[in-house]
Structure 1
Amino acid sequence: MFENVEDYPIDPIMIGADLFAQDPRREKLNLTVGIYQDEHGRTPVLEAVKLAEQQLIETQSSKAYLPLTGDAEYCSLLGREIIGDAYNARWVAAQTSGGAVALRVMADLLAQLPEPPTVWLQAPTYGNYVPILTAAGARHQALPYYDPLRSELTFDQMLDGLKAARPGDVFLMQGVCHNPTGADMSEDQFTALLDTLEALGIVPWIDLAYLGFAQGFHADCSTARRIAERFPECIVCITLSKSFGIYRDRAGALFIKTGEADQERITRAVTAIVRSGASHAPDHGPAVVRTILQDSDMKALWLRDLNQMRERVARTRERIVATEQDMFGTDRLAYLVRQVGMFSLLPLSAAQEMALTRDHGIHIVQGGRINVARLGDEDVPWLVDAVCRTMSRPSR
Structure 2
Amino acid sequence: MIGKAVGACRIRAIDFEKGSDVFEKVEDYPVDPIMIGADYFAQDPRTDKLNLTVGIFQDAHGQTPVLKAVKEAERRLVETQTTKSYLALTGDAEYCAVLGREILDEAFSSDWVAAQTSGGAVALRVMADLLAQMPDPPTVWLQTPTYGNYIPILTAAGTRFAQVPYYDPIGRKITFNQMLDGLTNAKAGDVFLMQGVCHNPTGADMTAEQFNALLEVLEQRGIIPWIDLAYLGFAHGFEADCAMARQIAERFHECIVCVTLSKSFGIYRDRAGALFVKTRKDDQPRIHRAVSAIVRSGASHAPDHGPSVVRTILQDQKLKALWLQELDRMRVRVAEVRAQITQTERNDFGTQDLAYLTQQRGMFSLLPLTEHQETALTRDHGIHVVKGGRVNVARLGSQDIGWLIRAVRTVMASRS
Coarse TM-score class (shorter-chain normalised): over 0.9
Match of 1:157 among 151, 156, 178: 178
Q: CA deviation at 1:188?
A: 0.3
Match of 2:284 among 230, 244, 263: 263
Q: CA deviation at 1:256?
A: 0.4
Match of 1:51 among 72, 96, 100: 72
Q: Give yes or no for the alignment of 1:209 onto 2:230.
A: yes
Query: For each residue in 1:159-199, what CA deviation from the matched residue of structure 2 results, as whole angstroms up to 9, or x when unmatched?
Result: 01111111111000001100000000000000000000000
Q: After the TM superposition, which of the residue ranges 248-257 and 263-272 deviates more from structure 2?
A: 263-272
Match of 2:131 among 101, 110, 122: 110
Q: Give yes or no for the alignment of 1:75 onto 2:96.
A: yes
Q: CA deviation at 1:243?
A: 0.2
TM-score (norm 1): 0.99
Taking the TM superposition and a 5 Å limit, the aligned residue runs for 1:21-170 are 21-170=42-191
2: CA distance between counterparts of 1:39 and 1:161?
41
Q: CA deviation at 1:11?
A: 2.6
Q: Relative to structure 1, is the Cα distance of residues 9 and 108 closer, same or farther in structure 2, using a 3 angstrom cutoff?
A: closer
Q: CA deviation at 1:112?
A: 1.0
Over aligned residue pairs, what C-alpha RMSD do you find?
0.8
Q: After the TM superposition, which of the residue ranges 102-111 and 2-11 deviates more from structure 2?
A: 2-11
Instruction: Give the aligned partner of residue 227 of structure 1.
Output: 248
Match of 2:35 among 14, 22, 31: 14
Instruction: Give the aligned partner of residue 376 of structure 2.
Output: 355
Q: Give yes or no for the alignment of 1:386 onto 2:379.
A: no
Letter in 1 for 2:118: S
Q: CA deviation at 1:17?
A: 1.4
SS at match of 1:378: helix
Q: How many residues align?
A: 395
2: CA distance between counterparts of 1:157 and 1:331?
27
Q: CA deviation at 1:392?
A: 1.5
Instruction: Give the aligned partner of residue 300 of structure 2.
Output: 279
8 Å CA contact retained: 2:32, 2:152: no
SS at match of 1:335: helix
Q: Give yes or no for the alignment of 1:5 onto 2:33.
A: no
1: CA distance between counterparts of 2:59 and 2:386?
20
Q: Give yes or no for the alignment of 1:192 onto 2:213.
A: yes
Dislocated runs of 4+, deviation >2 Å:
6-11
Q: CA deviation at 1:311?
A: 0.3
Q: Give yes or no for the alignment of 1:248 onto 2:269.
A: yes
8 Å CA contact retained: 2:171, 2:368: yes
Name stretches of at least 5 consecutive residues in structure 2 with no aligned partner.
1-21
2: CA distance between counterparts of 1:203 and 1:374?
35
2: CA distance between counterparts of 1:140 and 1:113?
14
2: CA distance between counterparts of 1:14 and 1:97?
18
Match of 1:333 among 344, 348, 354: 354
Name stretches of at least 5 consecutive residues in structure 1 with no aligned partner.
none
Percent identity over the alignment is 72
Q: CA deviation at 1:7?
A: 2.8
Q: CA deviation at 1:26?
A: 1.6
- Rg larger for: 2
TM-score (norm 2): 0.94
SS at match of 1:126: coil
Letter in 2 for 1:110: L
Q: CA deviation at 1:393?
A: 2.2
1: CA distance between counterparts of 2:247 and 2:199?
18
Match of 1:175 among 196, 199, 223: 196
Q: CA deviation at 1:282?
A: 0.4
1: CA distance between counterparts of 2:218 and 2:23?
45
2: CA distance between counterparts of 1:11 and 1:139?
18
SS at match of 2:193: strand
8 Å CA contact retained: 2:30, 2:151: no
